[in-house]
Copies of this chain bind each other. A is one copy, B any other.
Amino acid sequence: MDFIQIAKKAKQASLEIAHLDAEVKNTALNTIANELEIYKNEIFEANNKDLEDAKKLVEAGKLGKSTFNRLKLDDNKMRDMIQGVRDIANLEDPVGKVLLKRELDKELILTKVSCPIGVLGIIFEARPDVISQISSLAIKSSNAVILKGGKESKNTNTKIMEIINKALNKVHDFPQNVVQQVFSHEDIAKMLKCDEYINLIIPRGGNKLVQFIKENTKIPVLGHASGICHIFVDKNADIDIASRVIVDAKTQYPSACNAVETLLIHSDFSQKEELLASLQIEEIKLVSNPESWDMEYGDKILSYKFVHSIDEAIDHINKFGSGHTDCIITSDKENAELFMDKVDSAGVYWNVSTRFADGFRYGFGAEVGISTNKTHARGPVGLEGLTIYKYKLVGNGDVVDDYAKGIKSFHHQDI
């Protein structure tokens, strides 16, 4: 089918799912979870086909080992994937929340109500578990979604999508075409141009993918192209806290976007040599003169430099950081507050590992991703980031002319 037809169907589906009862959406999610459970062996079979093809590519040096690992579904990943769908069913409905209720004048009532955004376009790489996660988040937030996955997982994706749509067909009152999939590389280009029907693009993948998407669409993009996170060790830092936090932020999962990449140390910190030694013991490779200050290593490598003041640290971070998550280690409350106010990042931390930047850890229950945008949604984004709002105004023949002429006046009372 032509992409534009798929997009039109998604738009229609988005209008239908927009006002669907929470109960029907939750039934849909639980049905998906049940069917994934029932047909999981079929998914493993499809995944094996993809893995066989991928193995050849790895052997030929055309596919990285880490991509191969992300592609592979095992019992644990399958269990988490199914549980993830049930968890989203159990979250509070993000749609239809009353955000403001105000009497503008007697019997003239304004209500601001959360509602879905419309049609989401998702572009992701080799992780097939993304399909059920993103589809579930879209359904829960009453958005339609078009997914484009990596070609390496085509068999797995197709099977999972088939099971999801078979499940949705069984649910009474659930609209058609809420969850659709496209396959070809050309579909990405078409999706990025389709601002008439697609309201938000969410890329899930490496920096290059995200950067490419941000460069090539007028549609709002929710995500982050890079994660250059900093830790600044202040003059009055506790060395145990500093060492413990840096080791966690660098080694607990080095390829994560919230791992630390640059360490800034106040030149007056008296235990700086011990601190650096403690990091080397943990097999962190220290680079004192990196080629550039915006390197995202994704490995146990850490750039570092000495700074002469907290202001120099803040300036460095605002200049070279990616606005993701940055931390100060200090015993000085005033400096901590200065740092958290002046560093312009989605997450500003005090004596805490940058690895906490995550929707689950923040208690959002599920996560679309982490945004470094300065509009709409910032930091870890849960269901709320997939909603917007509309204003309902109810009266009884009220006209603006009465207010323009001074016959009536507003009293603006929140109720």
Contacts and interface: CB of A to CB of B under 8 A. Distances in A.
B241 A345 contact: no
A360 to B, nearest CB: 8
Interface string A238-272: 10110011011100110000000000000000000
Contacts of A410: 361, 363
A383 interface: no
A401 interface: yes
A391 B379 contact: yes
A403 B361 CA distance: 9
Given A108-B352, A344-B118, A388 B393 contact: no
Contacts of A404: 252
Interface stretch (A67-75, A147-155, A213-221): A213-221
Contacts of A393: 347-350, 352, 356
Contacts of A373: 220, 388
Given A345-B390, A388-B378, A396-B351, A252 B110 contact: no
Given A218-B214, A401-B248, A392 B345 contact: no
B375 A344 contact: no
State how many copies of this chain the complex holds. Answer: 2
A400 B19 contact: no
A318 interface: yes
Contacts of A110: 362-363
A244 B395 CA distance: 13
B397 A241 contact: yes
Nearest to A96: B341
A290 B341 CA distance: 55
A220 B220 contact: yes
B390 A378 contact: yes
B245 A397 contact: yes
Kindly state the interface size class of chain A when it binds its partner: 35 or more
A398 interface: yes
A341 to B, nearest CB: 4
Contacts of A48: none
Nearest to A344: B15
A197 to B, nearest CB: 11
Given A15-B344, A341-B18, A252 B362 contact: no
Nearest to A112: B379
Given A15-B318, A374-B199, A340 B399 contact: no
Given A400-B353, A410-B363, A18 B342 contact: yes
Nearest to A411: B363
Contacts of A252: 399-401, 404
Interface of A: 15, 18-19, 102, 104, 108, 110, 117-118, 199-200, 214-215, 218, 220, 238, 240-241, 244-245, 247-249, 252-253, 318, 336, 340-342, 344-353, 355-357, 361-363, 373-376, 378-380, 388-401, 403-404, 410, 412
